[in-house]
Amino acid sequence: MKAPAIAFIGCGNMSRSLIGGLLKDGVAPARLRGADPQPAQRDLIRAQLGIETLADNAAAAKGAAVVVLAVKPQAMKDALASIAEVLRRESPLVLSIAAGIRMETIRTWLGADLPLVRAMPNTPALIGAGASALCAGGRAGPEHRELAEGILRAVGTVVWLEDEALMDVVTALSGSGPAYWFLAMEALEAEAVKLGLPREQARLLTIETALGAARMALESAADPSELRRQVTSPGGTTERAIKVLEQGGFATLLARALDAARDRSAELADTLKGK
């Protein structure tokens, strides 16, 4: 992508993954800079990725066409206070990847209505396999949406939402979702070991099965329910296993888990709004 100057406020794992993805896309290191209060974080990102890093948030944000907010939600209010004057004066695109911070809250803390896009990436972005949802504020035009999408697309798939309230669903589905699959993999591996498979073989077979199933779902025109039917022979081993899962309320349990995560996301956003 053709990159303007992009400043990252916060130099944690997600910033490092985004910066790494942008560099692989051909963005010059000189167009990127990061700010973080922790010297170790600044040193790490400078050593690994070769970009400029600063302790001063405002200095990093000055002159940037895009300012990426990548701090922990609890630190967002203070981080915005440190750059509010620069942002109000220069009106860059503000791209927030902080979980649970609504755009209304960001506008309130900034004391200005700037071009704003909120994104919810997930941890597989660290290996370039992320899934991110984006939602644009009213001041964000097509050029701002293009900039934001280019940054997140550097580390995976991007979808756009028109209703910000759905970001709580995204948080529950793709934000928290990797943990659900890790839990399932953990349980399958443990039972396979209990049934006699060596742990190394059980782990490899579990991981490759999960990867293969995901790739089939991604590359097939059939939906997951049809793919499941295709591998479930009548009277066979898969059918018996599926019946056990259905009798145990597998689908209902997943639905309850997703609802609980969505509700918690909304609760956290309400809590942070009041701070």
Alpha carbon distance 22, 86 (integer Å): 24
Domains, the chain, ordered by start: 6-167 (3.40.50.720), 175-267 (1.10.3730.10)
pLDDT at 216: 96
Q: In which residue are the tokens 């791209």 written?
A: 95
Per-residue pLDDT at 139 exceeds 50? yes
Per-residue pLDDT at 1 exceeds 50? no
pLDDT tens digits for range 188-221 = 999 999 999 999 999 999 999 999 999 999 999 9
Alpha carbon distance 226, 228 (integer Å): 5
pLDDT at 196: 98
pLDDT at 28: 95
Residue 37: burial class (beta carbons within 10 Å; 0-12, 13-18, 19+): middle
pLDDT tens digits for range 35-78 = 999 999 999 999 999 999 999 999 999 999 999 999 999 999 99
Q: How many CA atoms lie within 13 A of 246 on its CB side?
A: 6
Q: What does pTM read for this prediction?
A: 0.91
Question: Predicted confidence band at 272 (pLDDT cuts at 50, 70, 90)?
Answer: confident
